[in-house]
Amino acid sequence: MQEGNVRSGAPYSTEIRWLFQAGLLVFVVTVSIGILNGFHFVTLPRQVLLTHVHAGTLGWITLGVIATCLWLFGEDESAPRSRRAMQWLSLLAAIAVPVYVLAFLSGNLLARAIFGIPVLVAIVGVLGWLISRIGQVRLTVPRLAVLAAIATLVIGSTIGVLIQLELASKSAFLPEGAIGGHVTAQVVGYLVLIGMAISEWRLKDTPGLTWPGIIQVGLLFLGGVLITIGALLNVQALLGAFIPAELAAVIIYCVRLGPQLRRVDWLAPTSERHFGLVVPYLVLNLALLIWLIAGVVTKTYARIELIPLWLIFAFDHTMFIGVMSNSLFGLIQQASRSDERFWPWAEQVVFWGMNGGMIGFVLTLATDQRQLEKLFTPIMGGSILVGIITYSVRLQRLRGGAAPAPTLPRQRGREIPA
């Protein structure tokens, strides 16, 4: 595979590096808390566990997703006003998200309510910019999926900020299922679409919109909306209706992306194998989600405490680590590529250690071999920390030098542009 990176003079290359570096920095918080929790030395308070979740989903994933939006939609951006607006929005996100994570760590409800607002402003601003770029870029299946994902993110984030305002004001103006609506929008609607968008963008040459791709994205967006409304308003029928939409979408996705996996060199230290792993992880994640939703609809899991712990951890780790961390580490590996690589062995450690550790961690919970959790947790977390250090240094070193524009592997004698 021919690896490329973000050229210094390319539109938003500086902002992309800001956002990736900020995301990597906040990811340290997630990993550190995760390792500590895995050893069970102490019982961590609720605000620390909430910090662990939000540092990962907002700090690491959403900052990386905003960088991805700039990379995917920013080509040939020439309007000075639009560029300035996105520069300010990128800076706002890079500052506001870490501050919001600290607000969760503080346990102060008022701080969470206040500092969630600028994060929401940044996310809404990104959606507005994406919409403004529709007529300026060639619309492809990955770009359509990103648009649908960020629209869903706005819905989920709005619910999340309203929850914080409700908690801070000690009032009750939201439906009882507000937290469920927030979680399902963020994970099912937003992250599934983003994972599929990145994997298709970096693995498959899709020159424009195709009907199978449009149907796939439409079903995923519809499924995300159905499950969000169903969880928010406690409408069991909508939770059930989500299942056929997701099943149809994942079948289309597998048919479209499956053939690309045959050419992935799983032993070579390239970013392509990270994107390749996203495909089976997404399928597994959706299978676990359907299992979970079916249990809720059939009253097998009538109460949240009846849901097996391993199922919850398997569901969230296949998404947060399997899908999104592989996606973002793959993009950052491309974005930080240079002739002289810092720690050239790190790609192997990140790929095998992060994924092997995560699979082992989930299996220890599924088989109730909890003593092995203390083995696989540091393998997973330590490998991620190696990646954080490696790519932070590489991105920093790029500040003063030019690099080739992002490229994909050669297919049939040509390269796939960003």
Give pLDDT tens digits for 174-229.
998 899 899 999 988 899 999 999 999 999 877 888 999 999 999 999 999 999 99
Q: What is the pLDDT of residue 401?
A: 53
Average pLDDT over residues 56-70: 95
Dihedral sign computed on CA atoms, order 311, 315, 318, 320: negative
Tell me: pLDDT of 19 over 90: yes
Tell whether the model's pLDDT for residue 23 goes beyond 50: yes
Closest Cα to residue 68, out of 138, 145, 139?
145
The per-residue pLDDT for 272 is 94
Q: What pLDDT shows up at residue 111?
A: 96
Q: What is the pTM of this model?
A: 0.91
In the chain, the percentage of residues whose pLDDT exceeds 90 is 63
| Residue range 318-371, pLDDT digits in tens | 999 999 999 999 999 999 887 678 999 999 999 999 999 999 998 888 887 878
Q: Which residue has the tokens 């990955």?
A: 142
For residue 222, give the nearest of 254, 192, 251, 201 by alpha carbon: 192
Q: What are phi and psi of 294, to 5 degrees?
A: -60, -40
Domains of the chain in start order, with CATH, are 9-137 (1.20.120)
Cα separations in angstroms, 156 against 77, 81, 133, 232, 235 = 29, 28, 23, 11, 17
Query: Percent of the chain scored above 70 by pLDDT?
Result: 92
